A and B are shown apart, each in its own frame.
Chain A
Amino acid sequence: MRTLRARLTPYALIFPGGLWLAIFFVVPTLVMLSLSLQSGNVVDGFAFTWNWHSYVDGVTTYHDQIIRSLLYGLAATVIQILIGFPVAYWIAFKGGNNKSVYLFLVLLPFLVSFVLRTISWQFLLSDNGILLGPLRDAGLLPQDFRVLATPYAVIGGLSYNFLPFMILPMYVALERIDPRLLEAAQDLYASRFHTFLRVVLPLSLPGVFAGVLMTFVPASSDYVNSSVLGGTNTTMIGNVIQNQFLVNQDYPVASALSFTLMALLLIGIFAYARALGTEDVLEVAAR
C-alpha cells in the first residue's frame, strides 16, 4: 500500500498542471489544425472537409510576408549575437563581484511593457522627433530621410526587444568556462585569438544555441514591431495572422498560416540543431 502510494505521488503532483497544459495547450493546437482544414465562413459556419486549399491559398497569397518574417527574424538574431556576445563575454569574465548588477541592467527593459518599449522607439525615431529632427535641421541628413516605416526600423526594434534573451543564455555558458582552460591554452602557446576561437567559442555554443532559440522564434513571429515601427511594405506573417483571425475572421486561412509558421519554425530549429551537431535539441535547450 505504501509503495503504491509512493508510486502515485508524482502523478498526483503533476495532475492539475498537466491537465491545464493538455486542455489549453495541446488540445488547442489540434483544434487549430482541424480548423485549418475546414471550409465555410463566419456567417454560415464551418465544416471539416479536408480543405487543403487554405494552405495553398495562404502560402501563395502571403509568401512575401512569410519570407520577410523569416529574413527579419534571422537578421535580428544575427545582429543580437554580434551585439550581445561581447557584452555577455565581458560580464562573465570581467564582471567581478558586480556580475549580478550588470545582468540586472541588461534585463531592465523587461520591467517595461513590450508594447510601451516599442512605442518609445517609434517616438524616438519619428520623422521630426528628438533624434532625426535636429540632425535634419543641421543639414546632416537629407530632407526626405526617414527611419520609421523602413525594414531597418523593424529589424532594429526586433533586435532591441529580444536582446536580453540572447545575452542571458550566452552569459550562463561563458560564465561556466573554467578560467584554467584559458591559462592552459596560453601555456601551450596558443595566441589570444586562437584561445578564443578554439576554447571560448566552442564552449559558449550551447548558450548561443539557447539564445537563438529564445530570440528567433519571437522575432520572426512578431507583429508589434512591424505595426508600430514599420510601414505597408514591412508587413510580417504575424500581422497577417492577427488580421485574418481578429479582423477578417477567415479562420481556416488564419489557422493554416499559423500552422505553416509553426512548422517552418520547428523545421528551422531542428535543421539548425543538426547543423550544429547537437544530437538532442531538448537536452541543450532544457539546460
Chain B
Amino acid sequence: MSRGLFRGRGLQIYTWLVIAWLVVPIAVMILFGFNDTKGRFNTTFQGFTLKWYGQLFEIDALTQALVNSLLIAVLTMVIAGVLGSLIGLALGRYRFRGAALLTLVMFAAISCAEIVMGASLHSLFITLGLPEGFPTIVIAHVMFSISFVAVTVRARVMTLDTSLEEAARDLGASTWDTFRLVTLPMIFPGVLAGSMLAFALSIDDFVITNFTAGGTTTFPLWIWGVTRVGIPPQVNIMGTLIFAAGLLIAVVNIVAARRRRA
C-alpha cells in the first residue's frame, strides 16, 4: 500500500534537490581545505594539495581558539548534562508545585533570541564588574543548554515504567542504590543524547559567546575575526574534522538503532 496523496517521483526529486542545496556549502568547505592556495585569500581553486593538513596547527591563535572551544564544550556537556538531567528527572517523574513555573522559564530560555540572552548576560557581567573570559563563556553555555538537556531527559523519563524501581525498593535496595542500579541505566540514553546536544550547541555557538567572551577566543569567534582579512585553509580543515566526527557519531547511532530494531 502506498501512503500519501501524491504519486510519481516529483517530490522525491525535489527533496533530493533541497538536500543538495543544504549540503553545497559543506562540500565547498571540505574542498577548499585541499586547495593549493598561494596567498591569504582562499577563494579560487588552484590545485589539490594535502599540505594544509600537515600545517594544521601552524596558526597558534587558531589552535588555541579550537582548544578553547573543545574545553568549553566538554565542560558544558558535563555541567549542563548533570543539572539538566536532574531537572528532566524531576519534571518527568514528580508532580510538584513550581513545575509549571520552571517549565515556563525553560521554554523562555529555549525560545528567547540568542542576542537578547547574550546582551542580558553582558549587562549582568558589566554591572557586577566581573571580567569576561573563559569562565563566563562556560556559565553562558551551561545556561542555554540546561533546558535542552532537561527536555530530552524528561521525554525519556516519561516513557519509563516505575514498577522496576518499586520492585528494587521492595527487595530492600536503598534510595541511592535504586537510583544508581535501576533508574540511571534506564534514563541513560536520554542523558547521553541530552549531553551530546549540549556539546553540539556549545561548540557551534557564536552569538552568546560573542557577548560573554571578553578577550577569550573560540573557534567561531576566531573565524568571525578574520572574515574580512581572509579565511586560511586550516579553518576549512578544522571545520571538516568537526563535521567528520559528528558524522561518525551519528552514523554509529543510526546503525546501532537499526541493529536493535532488527
A residues with a Cβ closer than 8 A to B are 7, 9-11, 13-14, 16-18, 20-22, 24-29, 31-32, 35, 83-84, 86-87, 89-91, 93-94, 100-102, 104-106, 108-117, 119-124, 126, 129-130, 160, 163-164, 179, 182, 192, 195-196, 200, 213-214, 217-218, 220-224, 227-228, 238, 241-242, 245-246, 251, 254-255, 258-259, 261-262, 265, 269, 282, 285-286
The 5 closest A-B pairs by CB, nearest first: A93-B4, A120-B25, A17-B83, A28-B120, A111-B246
**Chain B residues closer than 8 Å to A9, beta-carbon distance:** 90, 94
**Chain A residues closer than 8 Å to B22, beta-carbon distance:** 105-106, 108-109, 160, 163-164
B residues with a Cβ closer than 8 A to A are 3-6, 11-12, 14-15, 18-19, 21-26, 28-29, 32, 43-45, 83-84, 86-87, 89-91, 93-94, 96, 98-99, 102-109, 111-117, 119-124, 126-127, 139-140, 142-143, 146-147, 150, 200, 203-204, 206-207, 210-211, 219-220, 223-224, 227, 231, 235, 239, 242-243, 246-247, 250, 254, 257
Whether the pair B119, A113 counts as a contact (CB closer than 8 A) is no
Whether the pair A113, B223 counts as a contact (CB closer than 8 A) is yes
- Shortest CB distance B135–A (Å): 12
**Chain A residues closer than 8 Å to B18, beta-carbon distance:** 83-84, 87, 106, 163
What total count of A-B pairs have CB within 8 Å?
251
- Shortest CB distance B197–A (Å): 10
CA–CA, A93 to B4, complex, Å? Answer: 6
Out of A110, A214, A223, A254, name the residue touching B200 (CB < 8 Å): A110
Interface on chain A toward B: helix, strand, loop, or mixed SS? helix
Whether the pair A112, B239 counts as a contact (CB closer than 8 A) is yes
CA–CA, A175 to B190, complex, Å? Answer: 22
- Shortest CB distance A126–B (Å): 7
- Shortest CB distance A234–B (Å): 16
In the complex, residue of chain A having the shortest beta-carbon distance to the beta carbon of B89:
A13
Out of B26, B106, B122, B127, name the residue touching A112 (CB < 8 Å): B26
Given contacts A24-B143, A160-B21, 7 further A-B contacts (CB under 8 A): A11-B90, A14-B90, A29-B120, A109-B23, A117-B26, A221-B114, A261-B116
**Chain B residues closer than 8 Å to A259, beta-carbon distance:** 116
**Chain B residues closer than 8 Å to A130, beta-carbon distance:** 44-45
Out of A21, A27, A105, A223, name the residue touching B19 (CB < 8 Å): A105
Whether the pair B4, A182 counts as a contact (CB closer than 8 A) is yes
CA–CA, A129 to B24, complex, Å? Answer: 14
Task: Give the most central of A29, A84, A126, A265: most B CB within 10 Å.
Answer: A29
Out of A84, A109, A192, name the residue touching B25 (CB < 8 Å): A109
**Chain B residues closer than 8 Å to A114, beta-carbon distance:** 204, 206, 220
Whether the pair A265, B127 counts as a contact (CB closer than 8 A) is no
**Chain A residues closer than 8 Å to B29, beta-carbon distance:** 112, 116-117, 120
Out of A14, A116, A258, name the residue touching B220 (CB < 8 Å): A116
Out of A22, A115, A192, A241, name the residue touching B223 (CB < 8 Å): A115
**Chain A residues closer than 8 Å to B116, beta-carbon distance:** 29, 221, 258-259, 261-262
Out of A14, A87, A100, name the residue touching B15 (CB < 8 Å): A87
In the complex, residue of chain B having the shortest beta-carbon distance to the beta carbon of A46:
B127
**Chain B residues closer than 8 Å to A285, beta-carbon distance:** 107, 111
8 contacts across the A-B interface (CB closer than 8 A) = A18-B102, A94-B4, A112-B26, A116-B220, A116-B223, A179-B3, A251-B126, A254-B119
CA–CA, A83 to B44, complex, Å? Answer: 30
Whether the pair A221, B126 counts as a contact (CB closer than 8 A) is no
Q: A13-B89, A245-B119 are in contact. Are A112 and B11 (CB under 8 A)?
A: no
